[in-house]
A and B are shown apart, each in its own frame.
Chain A
Amino acid sequence: MRIHRKTQAGTMQSSDLIVFVEPADTLEIDIESTVQQQFGHLIRERVDLVLGRLGLESGRIMVSDRGALDYAIEARVETAVRRGGA
């Protein structure tokens, strides 16, 4: 699976996140979060897990998180990748 088009999923609301995806040659992941200090490591873990499960080989994934829980991170990342990838 690769990202073919630029798209996004999610909202700016508290407890949610926006995931932006766009095509790229390699797999690049950028995460910023309102709870970076406390949970940055867990957010990264969860994003890696989902991308691994989806078998994403390339694309730029940018996550802007506002304190979303793991299930929401999973869901939003998968939604964005499915919208933008093939």
Chain B
Amino acid sequence: MAREKLRRSLLYVPGNLPALLQNIPTFQCDVCIIDLEDAVPRAEKDAARLLTRRFLDSYRHRNKEIFVRINGLDTPYFQDDLAATLPALPDGVRLPKCESPELVERLDHLLIGFEEEIGCEPELFKIIASVESAQGILNVSRTAQASPRLTALGFSAEDYAASLHIDRPKSGEHLLVPRQLLLMACRAVGIQAIDTVWADTMDMDGFRQECELIKVLGFDGKSLINPRQIDIVHEVFAPKPAEVDYALQVVEAIVGAREQGTGVVALAGKMIDAPVVARAVRVLMAAKSLGMIDTDIDESVIHGKD
């Protein structure tokens, strides 16, 4: 069963500025997305590729996931983006402008080729695909199924609103339907749903409100453009103490059952199946990162060796 990573906070870091790249190890987000796309002017794309590659080469012991946002498959840049950065073994690729499942399939094939060339294990590189338009939302349930590498879908509200020819009110009522559709598509397939960036870095109250909304809706995390946003996301997505207690009980029950060799596990009369365990693990990881619990989470003990 998918041992899902904690992906509450996904911070974009421009790939062409050394001063920002080298702070990546100190940020406390779950994921950093090194951006070769919108943050980098055309004339600097070659420089950004090399900076990203050499930085990742020097960042061997990673304390977070690293994804690289390549340029879209409709540009002349994506091939060089992949060739330059994949040898440094990021965790995966963030694919922008993912309006159809065919684009995910294309990227999947490209990644197979690179994995062979590099000589690393197959399906090493994951994909997070960004849905950025009305068409993309309409295709979202097929896109979500397009590849086993696809570990999450991201929603990009800025470009989506532009595709609808509308402004972006902060209240966000125009985003309810696309958010829900994306969420449903992700849940049906069992992958994560990541919400759009909040651009106004001075409005922390508005940012917090949006985080609270998307938590209620069921998102797993949010894309960020400023490190100051990280703590707020983590606070909002913090599990309630009751959730943490329940998660601890689930883990205890699973570990106990494994020790006794029983297959089916029940807790308080309810069946504990794999998705429940996975959720409990995520809750405990979040709780640990916020200092709510002391104990270490040994996933091999929970999931068993398989």
Contacts and interface: CB of A to CB of B under 8 A. Distances in A.
A and B touch in the complex (CB under 8 A): yes
Interface of A: 9-11, 13-16, 68-72, 74-76, 78-79, 82-83
A16 B47 contact: no
Given A9-B47, A79-B46, A83-B46, A74 B54 contact: yes
B63 interface: no
B81 to A, nearest CB: 15
Nearest to A10: B47
Contacts of A82: 46
B223 to A, nearest CB: 25
Given A71-B57, A71-B58, A15 B50 contact: no
B59 to A, nearest CB: 8
Given A13-B19, A15-B22, A83-B46, 18 more contacts: A11-B17, A13-B17, A15-B18, A15-B19, A68-B18, A71-B18, A71-B51, A71-B54, A71-B55, A72-B51, A72-B54, A74-B54, A75-B18, A75-B54, A76-B50, A78-B50, A79-B47, A79-B50
Interface residues of B, number: 14
A52 to B, nearest CB: 16
Nearest to B47: A79
7 contacts: A14-B19, A71-B58, A72-B22, A72-B51, A72-B55, A78-B50, A82-B46
Nearest to A17: B18
Contacts of A9: 47
Nearest to A73: B54
Contacts of B18: 13, 15-16, 68-69, 71-72, 75
Contacts of A70: 58
Contacts, number: 50
Contacts of A71: 18, 22, 51, 54-55, 57-58
B47 A75 contact: yes
Contacts of B51: 71-72, 75-76, 79
A16 B17 CA distance: 8
B53 interface: yes
A48 to B, nearest CB: 16
A14 B19 CA distance: 7
A76 B50 CA distance: 8
Contacts of B21: 72
A69 B22 contact: yes
Contacts of B19: 13-16
B22 A75 contact: no
A9 B46 CA distance: 10
Nearest to A69: B22
B47 A76 contact: yes
Nearest to B20: A15
6 pairs of A and B residues whose beta carbons are closest in the complex: A72-B18, A71-B54, A75-B50, A15-B19, A71-B58, A75-B54
Contacts of B17: 11, 13, 16
A9 B50 CA distance: 11
A74 B21 CA distance: 14
Interface string B38-62: 0000000011001101110110000
A9 B89 CA distance: 25
